[in-house]
Chain A
């Protein structure tokens, strides 16, 4: 158990809809990261938040947005869903030290299926 929790575990929805994925980081971690893993693909970095502020951005679609709240949990919002958005979405957290690479601890993921 990494200490990172994600809800829901599974999500099935229709094209055009909007969903919200939730992540609670490990206790004490300030950084939260979101990744997308499509079928037979590696994990693609989407976005990083640190203590409520956006820190780094990957190839995140404009239809996707994220935020980190004062209690440090994060939400990833996916809108106008398309079939190709079906994937596993992972959240990770780290301490967020600014002076070295921080090991990232991953949650169990949310499996999104768009029908």
Chain B
């Protein structure tokens, strides 16, 4: 049962344009969402997060939007840069007094074309 889904395995975007990565979830218990970025031969690194009490969170070139009614979130990167080429994972935790399970999507490989 894939509770966090990223339906686009790959995405190519021209440098300077906007990259939009999408994520859907099915579990209504999720109330916090994260995006991780992963380069080859490295572990995932935290990029940006959003709480379910918000519908938007911005950090520099990165903005995450949350649509709770649609159970959908998206990551916008603008302008896209070559260093943004990586695999992006959407994730959601279930946590309860220190017990935590982080559920990841399958990832989207973003390639920025110079």
A residues touching B (Cβ–Cβ < 8 Å)?
2, 4, 31, 33, 35, 40-45, 48, 50, 55-56, 58, 90, 92, 94, 96-109
Contact of B100 among A44, A48, A107 (CB under 8 A): A48
Residue contact B93 to A101, C-beta cutoff 8 Å = yes
Name the CB-closest residue of B to A41: B106
Chain B interface category by residue count: 20 to 34
| Residue pair A58, B101 in contact (C-beta under 8 Å) | yes
* B110 contacts the other chain (CB 8 A): no
Whether A90 lies near B106 (C-beta < 8 A) is: no
- Chain B 84-100 near chain A by CB (<8 Å), digits 1 or 0: 00000101010101111
Given contacts A42-B4, A42-B106, A42-B107, contact A4 B43 (CB under 8 A): yes
Q: Majority SS of interface residues in chain B?
A: strand
Q: Mark B41-63, 1 if CB is under 8 A from A, else 0.
A: 11111100100000000000000
Residues from chain A with Cβ under 8 Å of B98 in the complex = 31, 50, 55, 96-98, 102
Residue of A nearest to B46 (CB): A103
Task: Report whether A45 and B45 are in contact in the complex, using a CB–CB cutoff of 8 Å.
Answer: no
B103 at the interface (CB under 8 A from A): yes
Question: 29 A–B contact pairs at CB < 8 A?
Answer: A31-B100, A33-B102, A35-B102, A35-B104, A41-B106, A42-B4, A42-B104, A42-B106, A43-B91, A43-B104, A55-B100, A56-B99, A56-B101, A92-B43, A94-B100, A97-B98, A98-B97, A98-B98, A101-B93, A101-B100, A102-B95, A102-B98, A103-B34, A103-B46, A106-B43, A107-B43, A108-B41, A108-B42, A109-B43
Q: B104 and A2: CB pair below 8 A?
A: no
- Whether the pair B44, A106 counts as a contact (CB closer than 8 A) is yes
